[in-house]
Amino acid sequence: MPELPEVEAVRLELDPHFTRHRIEEVDVRRPDLRDPFPRRFRARLIGQTVEVFKRRAKYLLATLTSEETLVMHLGMSGWFYVSAPADPRREIDKHDHVIFRMSSGAVIAFNDPRRFGMMTLLAPRQLATHPVLSALGPEPLSDDFDAAALARACRGRKTPLKAALLDQRVVAGLGNIYVVEALHAAGLSPMRAAGTIATADGKPRDSAHRLTTAIKQVLKRAIARQASSSYRSDRFRVYDRESAPCPRPGCGGTIRRRTQAGRSTFYCPKCQR
C-alpha cells in the first residue's frame, strides 16, 4: 500500500494540473471503488475549480469553489496518470475508473486494479466530523510535530513504540515501512514501550528528539527520491533486509525480522535499544 512519501509524490505531480484549474468533464466508468460514489458525484464536480490541493495523512484533498472537498485515497493499488496537454491521451485502460478532463487540457486518470481506493465529496461540516480525518494526529513534516508533541502522545503508554507510531492519532500518515526505517535511524527498538521516550510528566527524553528528527529525515529523503510504487528493498536501509548486515557504521549487527500485530518488523538487535 502506498505510504506517505508515495502519496506526497502523487500530490506534487498532480498539483499543477489540479490547482486553479476547472474540472471540465468527469468520466466515471463504474458505480463504485471501495465504496459507492456519492450521489450526483459527476454533476457536483463538473464546472468546479480546484482552489487548494493538499495531502492529509494518506488522503488527497481538493477543495472546490462549491466549498465541497473531493477526498481521494489510493488504497492498495491506486495511481494517477496524467496526459500532458500537448500529448495524445494514452489509451484508456480497463482499470481507469475515473477520468478528469481539466481546463488546462490535462487528462488525469485514476487507475486502480484492486479497487480499494476511495473518492467522495464532503461539505465543510462533514469534513470536520469525518471519522478518520477528524481524528488524525499532527502531520509528521509539520512544525506541530516535534519531540514535545510525540512525548505527550506517548506518555505512560506501554504499547510497543512501533505500534504507537502506527496509531494515526499519534502522528498522521506513517506506515509500516517508514516507521521501521525511522526507528533504525534513531537507534530505538520497535519493541520498547512507547512511554519510555517521555518522562513521567510527559517531557521528551533524548530518544524522543532522535525519533522525531529521524522520522522527518526518512520521509524527506523518500519524497525527494520519489520512492513511488516499486518498493525495491535496496531503497531501504533495513526494511525487507532480513539477515543483511546492519548498515550503521561500526555496528556489526545483523538485521532480524519479527512479526508485530500481523506486520513485519525489521530491526538490528545490537544497535536498536
Q: Give the mean model confidence (pLDDT) for residues 21-27.
A: 97
Of 186, 251, 248, nearest in space to 215 by CA: 186
Q: What are the backbone dihedrals phi and psi of residue 36, each rounded to the nearest 5 degrees, phi first?
A: -60, 150
Domains contained in the chain, number: 2
Say which of 3, 6, 68, 181 is annotated catalytic. Answer: 3
Q: Does residue 125 register a pLDDT over 80?
A: yes
Q: What CA–CA distance (Å, rounded) separates 167 from 72?
A: 20
**Domain-embedded: residue 273:** no
Active site residue 190: no
Is residue 39 domain-shared with residue 109, that is, in the same domain? yes
Say which of 2, 5, 140, 190 is annotated catalytic. Answer: 2
Residue 59 burial by Cβ neighbours in a 10 Å radius (0-12, 13-18, 19+): buried
Expressed as residue numbers, the domain containing 121 is 4-135
**Domain-embedded: residue 100:** yes
Q: Does residue 226 register a pLDDT over 80?
A: no
* Cell digits of residue 183: 526507528
Is residue 62 domain-shared with residue 88, that is, in the same domain? yes
Q: Does residue 227 register a pLDDT over 60?
A: no
Is residue 124 domain-shared with residue 42, that is, in the same domain? yes
Q: Does residue 192 register a pLDDT over 90?
A: yes
Model-level pTM?
0.91
Interacting residues of 119 by C-beta distance below 8 A, sequence separation 6+: 33, 37, 41, 70, 71, 72, 73, 98, 110
Q: What CA–CA distance (Å, rounded) separates 32 from 209?
A: 44
Is residue 99 domain-shared with residue 166, that is, in the same domain? no
Q: Give the mean model confidence (pLDDT) for residues 118-134.
A: 95
Q: Give the mean model confidence (pLDDT) for residues 147-164.
A: 98
Count of CB atoms situated within 10 Å of the CB of 29: 13
Q: Calculate helix-pair angle for 176-186, 206-224, nearest 10 degrees.
A: 130
Look at residue 8 in the predicted model and tell me its pLDDT. 95
Say which of 58, 162, 237, 241 is annotated catalytic. Answer: 58
Is residue 92 domain-shared with residue 184, that is, in the same domain? no
Give the end of a domain, one of 103, 135, 167: 135
Is residue 127 domain-shared with residue 153, that is, in the same domain? no
Q: Give the mean model confidence (pLDDT) for residues 150-170.
A: 97
Active site residue 94: no
Active site residue 38: no
Q: What CA–CA distance (Å, rounded) separates 212 from 183?
A: 10
Q: Does residue 2 register a pLDDT over 90?
A: no
Active site residue 256: no
Look at residue 83 in the predicted model and tell me its pLDDT. 86
Say which of 221, 263, 269, 270 is annotated catalytic. Answer: 263
Q: What CA–CA distance (Å, rounded) separates 44 from 94?
A: 24
Would the CA dihedral through 206, 212, 151, 144 be positive or negative? positive
Q: Does residue 57 register a pLDDT over 50?
A: yes
For the chain, give the mean pLDDT: 93
Is residue 156 domain-shared with residue 117, that is, in the same domain? no
82 within 8 A of 75, measured Cβ to Cβ: no
Is residue 14 domain-shared with residue 131, that is, in the same domain? yes
